[in-house]
Structure 1
């Protein structure tokens, strides 16, 4: 590849205007395919749950690649891996990027892993072209983002940012009673490095969208302006079991009937608050679960989301009223218990603008988008300026072994990451001048 650098480029020049360089699409794709081998499934996906030996294999490979690029490695007490490429100014605040290497039991090749490999590809590209940044760059592989083996999700970034208690997280256990601390020890990734959370200039995260919007709009880059807030609840409705034959409809206390009404109400509430309103009942458990017995109890989960905190609070109030009204109609009692509460995240304008300007510089289609899912960038946004870059995934499918993304889209997203990071880190020098090779 021929790289062109304007003769006016200096440490103060805007890198997106001065530098013409691109990441290597084939190298990025090969890295993703090789990283998909630990935990590969027969259907073409990946089952690499957090802190298993397969997770260790992926971590070892990532560190091997980073050390080959001259990066220093630090591992903190929750197992987060930090690979740093130094800048020319040792006092400059670091520009970070990353995501996670763990997957769902039926995960794909791109969720999380793309963000880590894109960060590594940025480092490789800068090294191949002798490009130095003023600020150091750091690629992070966060521990247990998925939360499927150990709850909660986004554990590593949550501990790093102080949003989750390190002591409590280390004592979380899986279904076999294995603690996070013991699992980290077993794979050799319970680190002791102290990694400061201060002095971070920016954090970027590349990710497949995990939804259908970009593909539907035939758009390559999602400029993520933030993430939906989430309120989760566990609801138990209690009525009375009774024989399905002798009990008249007017005299029943049918817990399932109440649950059905509340499920419909949740959908109505979300639809009342477009475009970001979301409402989902994901789990429904009936008792006693017999064909000819009226359900006496229902346990259900509720997931409500919105981008505006006040609207999300209003949706929760509307839910409470819907539960109260349904219970009064059907003679039920209810226990509505909050299970999780994540405030909406509005990403820093400095990072959002850096992503948008990079997409514009590359001449690629882009649109502002809000993430409906949780990501490590959300916790990072609580302590430093943060932003995300979305690329389409086929049919919007993720958390599935058939998850797929086009190599060209992944490459474009990586190039956007490159220029967004350079805009924040500052361009110091380059090895190629005026289109000629050094």
Structure 2
């Protein structure tokens, strides 16, 4: 590492990552910290304790988003935001989301250690429910904050056990007094593992993220008829699962037709009555497509419902598709991206520009605030998996770039 004598403490960062990973730890080495669960509450409490030990003031909004503030020399300037999320997938890894939050904490600690004052205030953010694995709506806290989702609609969403988001917020004491609404902010930076194989394959230490892929998501419901597996001949069957299986294959075929840029996934499937000797009468599942080009995503969004409906008619069943959201390719702010690019170059890290294949809080925040992201490699590109892994030096490099970019933005001449 070159280009600066203002170094973050890589060992301290790694220790913080490992201590946060103790909360919700799984036997296979990952974490399970579902949004607004008891484990999420423990993670929030530990995060708050660490922030308050630094003298940061922590405020919480009505969606449970947490903002830890360090004042700047000029109280009239809008703050520079940075952060990510602490919730996980049901069988998630130690670094997805947590790296961005705890690297932000290390930035705050280093500023204290070096007695560095910034012109603009700084705010470290822990967004609520980025993953969407419990309530079915990803980027939930940042989406409400940015005005993408109506707050009432999100608060009414329920998990598989019937618990609403509002009930879960109150159940762990995470609902704060401040409105979940955008406020003036100068910039937002988010550090994250790539969750893909490109940086590792190319031996790049840093990904300079220029934007995020276009996406479209649906909830699908196929309704057929429950019937006896032994007495119902093919001509009389209205098998919801057969239809669902054919639509899953359709998603895969449509993805592969787009080459290596195509993304199409069915990650959730629920069958009723889910009995060994009953022809399934209902199937519910998720469908999503992603692509770097907005025009190609729009073609997918138009083609898929037509093709899926034709499959359903052929199976003699009914198909309902509810589009959850659709957003175009999101380009990040050129000035903020350039600060990341310059920091990586100044520090001597091999870097490349990259488009994010995953949705991140930064995607919605960027609709309100100039935004950039920083990627670090992860082993074999594996994420949303308990075996997710990064090296301590990779975490340190990403955090150092974050430190430099945040400091440059906060001290920029107006």
Taking structure 1 as the reference length, the TM-score comes to: 0.83
2:380 to 384, 390, 395: 395
What is the match of residue 183 of structure 2?
Answer: 198
1:89 to 66, 70, 74: 74
2:324 maps to 1:340: yes
8 Å CA contact 2:146, 2:181 repeated in 1 = no
2:93 maps to 1:108: yes
Q: Quick one: structure 1 residues 307 and 244, their matched pair in 2 at CA, closer, same or farther if it must change by over 3 Å? A: farther
Unaligned runs of 5+ in 2: none
CA deviations over 1:248-290 (Å, ceiling 9, x no partner): 89x9877666555544443332233344321223345667878
1:371 to 345, 352, 356: 356
Displacement of 1:354 after TM fit?
1.5
Displacement of 1:172 after TM fit?
3.2
Unaligned runs of 5+ in 1: 5-16, 429-438
Provide the C-alpha distance between the structure 2 equivalents of 1:261 and 1:173, rounded to a whole number of angstroms: 28
8 Å CA contact 2:84, 2:125 repeated in 1 = yes
Displacement of 1:335 after TM fit?
2.0
2:154 maps to 1:173: no
Taking structure 2 as the reference length, the TM-score comes to: 0.88
Provide the C-alpha distance between the structure 2 equivalents of 1:334 and 1:195, rounded to a whole number of angstroms: 39
| 3-state secondary structure, aligned to 1:379 | helix
Q: Quick one: structure 1 residues 86 and 263, their matched pair in 2 at CA, closer, same or farther if it must change by over 3 Å? A: same
2:13 maps to 1:28: yes
Displacement of 1:162 after TM fit?
1.6
CA deviations over 1:365-393 (Å, ceiling 9, x no partner): 11222222221111101111111111111
CA deviations over 1:123-162 (Å, ceiling 9, x no partner): 1111111222111111011112222333422221122112
Provide the C-alpha distance between the structure 2 equivalents of 1:407 and 1:413, rounded to a whole number of angstroms: 10
What is the match of residue 231 of structure 1?
Answer: 216
Counterparts of 1:126-275 in structure 2, within 5 Å, are 126-194=111-179, 197-233=182-218, 234=220, 236=222, 238=224, 261-275=246-260
2:346 maps to 1:357: no
Q: Quick one: structure 1 residues 289 and 159, their matched pair in 2 at CA, closer, same or farther if it must change by over 3 Å? A: closer
8 Å CA contact 2:96, 2:384 repeated in 1 = yes
Cα RMSD (Å): 3.1
2:63 maps to 1:72: no
Quick check: 414-423 or 188-197, which moved more? 188-197
8 Å CA contact 2:95, 2:389 repeated in 1 = yes
Larger radius of gyration: 1
What is the match of residue 431 of structure 1?
Answer: none
CA deviations over 1:48-99 (Å, ceiling 9, x no partner): 2222333222222212221222212111112111111111111112111011
Quick check: 191-200 or 130-139, which moved more? 191-200
Provide the C-alpha distance between the structure 2 equivalents of 1:178 and 1:258, rounded to a whole number of angstroms: 30
Q: Quick one: structure 1 residues 334 and 118, their matched pair in 2 at CA, closer, same or farther if it must change by over 3 Å? A: same
Provide the C-alpha distance between the structure 1 equivalents of 2:159 and 2:240, rounded to a whole number of angstroms: 32
8 Å CA contact 1:51, 1:187 repeated in 2 = yes
8 Å CA contact 1:237, 1:259 repeated in 2 = no
Quick check: 287-296 or 368-377, which moved more? 287-296
Quick check: 34-43 or 281-290, which moved more? 281-290
Quick check: 358-367 or 52-61, which moved more? 52-61
Provide the C-alpha distance between the structure 2 equivalents of 1:378 and 1:103, rounded to a whole number of angstroms: 18
Equivalent pairs, count: 411
Quick check: 37-46 or 94-103, which moved more? 37-46
8 Å CA contact 1:100, 1:115 repeated in 2 = yes
8 Å CA contact 1:237, 1:332 repeated in 2 = no
2:299 to 311, 314, 326: 314
Provide the C-alpha distance between the structure 1 equivalents of 2:48 and 2:382, rounded to a whole number of angstroms: 29
Q: Quick one: structure 1 residues 196 and 297, their matched pair in 2 at CA, closer, same or farther if it must change by over 3 Å? A: closer
| 3-state secondary structure, aligned to 1:417 | helix
2:404 maps to 1:422: no
